[in-house]
Every structure is written in C-alpha cells, then in structure tokens.
Amino acid sequence: MLFQRLPASRADGLERRSSGSTPGPPFPNNSPSRSQACSRCRYQEAMANTSAWSAATNVSVDAGGDYAPCVPWRSQGPRVALYVFIMAGIACTVVGNFLVVLAIAYFKRLQSPTNSFVMSLAVADFLVGLIVMPYSMVRTVEGCWYFGPTFCEVHSSLDVMLCTASIFHLSCIAFDRHYAVCNPLVYAFKMSRARVSLLIVVCWVVPLLISFGPIMLGLHKAGIDIQLPEGNCAFLVNRVYAVIASLVAFYLPMVIMLVAYWKIYKAAKRQAMQISAMEHQMTVQGLDLAGRKQKQRQNSMRRERKAAKTLGIIMGGLPLVLAAVLHH
C-alpha cells in the first residue's frame, strides 16, 4: 500500500532511468520522506498488533492508541440465558453444601473422622459458591471486570485458596479411606480426632500460604511487564509460581489420591474374595449364632468397600476435570 503512490523523487528517478541517465537513490538515507514512511509503517504495524490483542481480550482502543473502557460484547439475550444458567448452578452449590454442613453438625451419628473431612470440604465448596462464583459469573458473561484492581487480586486469591483447599480435602478423604479399608485394626488409632483436626488445619493453611501471600505481594507476576487495562482482571503468573503452585495444588494431591485408591481397589477385591469364601463356609456348616455375627462383620466390610468404590469412581474423573480447569 505504501508503494501505490510514488513520491516525486522516485518518479523523477524512473524518468531518468528510462531516458538512459544514471538515477540517484529514490530515498536518500537522510531523506525526510523515507523516515516518515518508515515511521508510518511501524505505527501501522503497532496499531494492528494492538487491535488484534484488544479483540482477543475485549479491550477497545481508540484512534490515538489509548484504551477505552471495557464494554460487554454479548447481546442481551445470551447474557440473560447465561445468567440464569450460572445462577442456578451457584444456588445448587450453595444450598447443597450448606445442607451437608447442617446435617453433619446436627446429627451426632454422622460426626465421624471421615465426615469431618466431608464437612470441611463442604465449607470450602460453600464459600466458592458464595464468594467466588458470583463475581466470576459477571466477568464471564459481561466480559469485563467492574470491581476494581484490588478486589481482582482478592478474588484471585480466594479462588486459588478455596479450590486448592477442596483438592486437599479430597486427598485427606482418600487417605482416610485407605486406612479404613486396608488397615481397619489401626484405623481408630491412626485417624484420631486430634490427627483429623491437624489434617484439616493443614488443608486450610497451605492453600492460604500459596494464594494470598504470593498474590497480594505480587510475587506471582514478578518479571512480567504486561500492564492490564482498566476493566480487565486476568490472573497472570510467572513460570516459578506456576510450577510451584501446580505441584502443590494439583500433582501432589493427584498422586496421593491415585495411590490411595489403587490400594483401596486391591484391598476391596481381596476382601470380596474373602467374603465369598466365608459365605460358602457358613452355608455348609450352618452356624446360626456365629453366622449372625459374621454377617454383621460382612455388612460392615461391604459398606466400607462400597464407600471406597464410590469415592474411587468420583476421583477417577477428577484428574480430567482438574486438567481442564488448569488448562482454562
């Protein structure tokens, strides 16, 4: 496009070339025309890159290169539909986890070590639905952040902390089920109230340290010189924080859960064979009293195995879900 209209000096040079005379350079090195053309090229290229970045991040740029306020890019119909759908999910998350907490706190029979982890997990998920998801909903539907840069950091810290706490609680539940199924004789000693309380404290303190500490101090984006425009809340992290947070919040708990449930599966399979053999022996001998006691023991073992299989199915799909979340 720059060479569609030739400058006068270039046209004179072409005329001299056609007449046989030795032409001079069309643009001398110190020519103002050449410097203006190069400056114009660089400006157009920079504006094109800025426009492409703005289109990807929903930030408008005016003709002078300044950032304009963020504006929603969806029409009203899709926005209303998304609000209804996401708000239904938020309501289910908040109400469901609140009922879990209420049931375990009210009924004494449900206050076991395993249910202590479940109750703490429900508290974390309840806070996610109550504090994190509403603001994320507005950012997702509107495409803009209306709550200021300070609350953007607080929101990102809460998001990281509560999601990591949920993953840690799932690891503790897998650890608890491993002892209940594989080592039932030492389960009461290994998973005492004091140890359960200590594990729950760890499930909250470690996520707090890897979220609010680095994010509020700006350590998660040290070395990153990208300045986000107003109305944008993107969670930028450097390589060091990304590696450490991924190891602590994802890969380590995933390894713990996979190993625990693999051992639970092997123990449950072995116990199933033992139950089948005992049932056959009881049928042959016809022992009534011993049979009733043995049947009670079998029912207890079956409940433990059923709980382990249920959690195993849930945890089998967890790595895929977490991988998709981290990729997003």
pLDDT surpassing 70 at residue 12: no
32 three-class SS: helix
32 band by pLDDT with thresholds 50, 70 and 90: very low
Domain ranges of the chain: 8-57, 76-327
130 band by pLDDT with thresholds 50, 70 and 90: very high
180 band by pLDDT with thresholds 50, 70 and 90: confident
CA distance 50 to 63: 11
Residue type, 52: A
The segment with the largest mean pLDDT, out of 56-60, 172-176, 278-282, 295-299, is 172-176
pLDDT surpassing 50 at residue 160: yes
pLDDT at position 301: 63
Question: Residue range 194-215: average pLDDT?
Answer: 93
What are the CA-CA distances from residue 219 to residues 88, 188, 233, 237 (Å)? Answer: 36, 42, 17, 9
Q: How many angstroms separate the most distant Cα atoms in the chain?
A: 122
pLDDT surpassing 90 at residue 165: yes
Question: Among residues of the chain, what percentage have pLDDT more than 70?
Answer: 62
Mean pLDDT of the chain: 74
pLDDT in tens, 285-298: 655 555 555 666 66
Q: DSSP class of residue 222?
A: T
Question: Residue range 259-264: average pLDDT?
Answer: 88
pLDDT at position 106: 92
pLDDT at position 67: 44
Looking up tokens 């998709």 gives: 324
Q: Find the angle CA(162)-CA(163)-CA(169) to the nearest 5 degrees.
A: 85
pLDDT surpassing 80 at residue 70: no
Long-range contact pairs involving 61-69 (C-beta distance under 8 Å, separation at least 24): 67/229, 67/230, 69/230, 69/231
Cβ neighbours of residue 240 closer than 8 Å, sequence gap 6 or more: 222
Q: Mean pLDDT lowest for which of 64-73, 151-160, 315-324?
A: 315-324
pLDDT at position 225: 78
CATH class in words for 76-327: mainly alpha
pLDDT at position 285: 62
pLDDT at position 68: 47
Tell which wins on pLDDT, 319 or 277: 277
Question: Among residues of the chain, what percentage have pLDDT more than 90?
Answer: 31
125 band by pLDDT with thresholds 50, 70 and 90: very high
